[in-house]
Chain A
């Protein structure tokens, strides 16, 4: 099992009072699944994504990633886990504006401690994979939205992570570019990647093979997608 979540709860303290956001979730995700997590705002899907991505830790319960209980890890180990196991793709791309495309893609490998030459090779391969080998030295400001998201995907792929974690990846893109990105995800899934997609759009969720619907911090429904939409 790639991901195993048991009785996971998360609450934030606001002054004296505790605001529960996730009330208790049990969830298993296998390797090479393509999952969409959906829900209205306030349903706890962003919080769940932060926990899945090891950016945040649960208040109680257990999150096993590759059979390791993440809730017991310290900050350095969490950083290492993010570096090795998680590839983030954000709605607003989150590229470093002062770095060009290839430098942005290299970034995770710097923290892995890969030597410069190998770093460059792998970043190059990753950018080729997303079809951007002609935009290596462009800064994010010189790229279109779709291209920026491709750079972000290349950055997520460059460490060969266990999970690609995409938070509203098409949210800032027009529908045509959005479809191109979804096509890329489909290919990546076919190549064996595990993809977890956070979205509030049913249309986007339709591309995934499994749809989990969150409501009020609990799993409302969890079913396989009967009519997978193809690009």
Chain B
């Protein structure tokens, strides 16, 4: 029997019993739609996490000053730790193997003024390697160079948000902004960055677009600190040339700092890549759970198909008898009924794919959950629906094929 004939018959059957077919498909529709939606939410979360950690640099180790209360700070200083210092950075660079680049940064929250406008901002004193370490991009002008650093020039680079507040339609390059009592020349503006919405270790959530960068040399020389006990710098960012050696390098860094800080626990080490891996592992468990739920709904959908197909075979005993009497073999009857259940599940699968895609879009539109539909997830969901159709159509089809022609032809 030609296969085209089976397909034509199966589709005809679907159209002849629209409502029944639709009800039969519902399970598959929900199953496939939920698989696609869940996978898209999982993938969205994954991409968001990767983007977040990429901002921190996947080959970086971040050493950060711990935020301590005044009493704790006094205690630490009394036990001879000076907190993070440029000296620490030098030692790390010299001792730790595989250091590609290293940058120190000092921070201070203050107002930045231009004209009659002011912005509450974080002033960050950095060494020139900073730009290469982070994935930051300069949108306009230049970043702080070796020359700026060495000569302690009074220049600054603005975050996109600060620049947008100060200079509407104006060219910011060459303008003077006032930070504390210092006048600094704007030499560049950074490209806008996504909000850093989650706290990672000691890295507090904040709007990176409100940062203003100045040479660290200038910062240490010209800006007064809020607290006299404050460490020299707040962060050291170390880039390692091989991501497999991040943990090893961080252990060495920890050893060095422990010694230099006289065993005072006043710093913390964050490895964004390790956090990413850990987060991925946690998400995997979540994904397996979601997958299991989706699989159960597909299973239930399959049982629904089997149920209807069994009833259909009963109802069509006479038809089976007629087909057998004019020469249909068992395999012909079998493939006819399997094709029918596959047609139901494929149609249900297609509708499910459409609904799944729509649901993902709705989730993105109306919540702050990011979704991303990977083509392979559509493929997986769809092939599952075909597999369900074949496996749950098999038994009813076998029943149909095994009906004795002599009995089924006279079935009333």
Contact = CB atoms under 8 A, between A and B. Distances in A.
A79 B329 contact: yes
B322 interface: yes
Contact of A112 (B323, B327, B330): B327
A80 interface: yes
A98 B8 CA distance: 13
A54 B403 CA distance: 15
B44 interface: no
A200 to B, nearest CB: 16
A111 B335 CA distance: 12
A94 interface: yes
A98 B12 contact: yes
Interface in A66-108: 75-76, 79-80, 82-84, 88, 90, 94-96, 98, 107-108
Given A94-B318, A96-B319, A155 B329 contact: no
Nearest to B402: A75
Given A55-B405, A56-B406, A88-B326, A110 B1 contact: yes
A84 B327 CA distance: 8
Interface string B137-162: 00000000000000000000000000
Contacts of B2: 110, 113, 116
A208 B31 CA distance: 62
A113 B16 CA distance: 26
A111 B406 contact: no
Bin chain A's interface residue count: 20 to 34
The secondary structure that dominates the A interface is: helix
B328 interface: yes
B5 interface: yes
B173 interface: no
Contacts of B322: 94-96, 107
A79 B12 contact: no
A183 B325 CA distance: 25
Contact of B328 (A55, A84, A95, A111): A111
Interface in A156-171: 159
A82 B326 contact: yes
Given A50-B406, A94-B318, A113-B2, A75 B329 contact: yes
B46 interface: no
Contact of B409 (A84, A94, A108, A112): A94
Given A55-B409, A56-B406, A94-B318, A110 B329 contact: no
Given A96-B319, A110-B5, A111-B1, A55 B325 contact: yes
A118 B321 CA distance: 25
B330 A76 contact: yes
B16 A83 contact: no
A115 B1 CA distance: 10
B261 interface: no
B330 A98 contact: no
A96 B329 CA distance: 17
A13 to B, nearest CB: 14
B371 to A, nearest CB: 43
A146 interface: no
Nearest to A158: B326
A127 to B, nearest CB: 16
Given A98-B12, A113-B1, A113-B2, A107 B326 contact: yes
Interface in B146-184: none
B210 interface: no
B324 interface: yes
A95 B327 CA distance: 14
Contacts of B185: none
Interface in B307-354: 318-319, 321-332
A53 interface: yes
Contact of A79 (B16, B328, B406, B409): B328
A56 B409 CA distance: 11
A98 B316 CA distance: 12
Contacts of A108: 326-327
A142 B114 CA distance: 90
Contacts of B328: 79, 111
Given A79-B329, A94-B409, A113-B1, A107 B323 contact: yes
B54 to A, nearest CB: 59
Interface string B94-119: 00000000000000000000000000
Interface in A21-35: none
Nearest to A90: B409
Contacts of A76: 329-331
A88 B325 contact: yes
A111 B409 contact: no
Contacts of B405: 55-56
A80 B331 CA distance: 12
Contacts of A96: 319, 322
A156 to B, nearest CB: 9
A83 B326 contact: yes
12 contacts: A55-B409, A79-B324, A82-B324, A82-B327, A84-B327, A98-B16, A107-B322, A110-B2, A111-B326, A113-B1, A113-B2, A159-B327
Given A80-B327, A107-B323, 10 more contacts: A55-B409, A56-B406, A75-B329, A75-B330, A79-B330, A82-B326, A88-B326, A108-B327, A111-B328, A155-B326
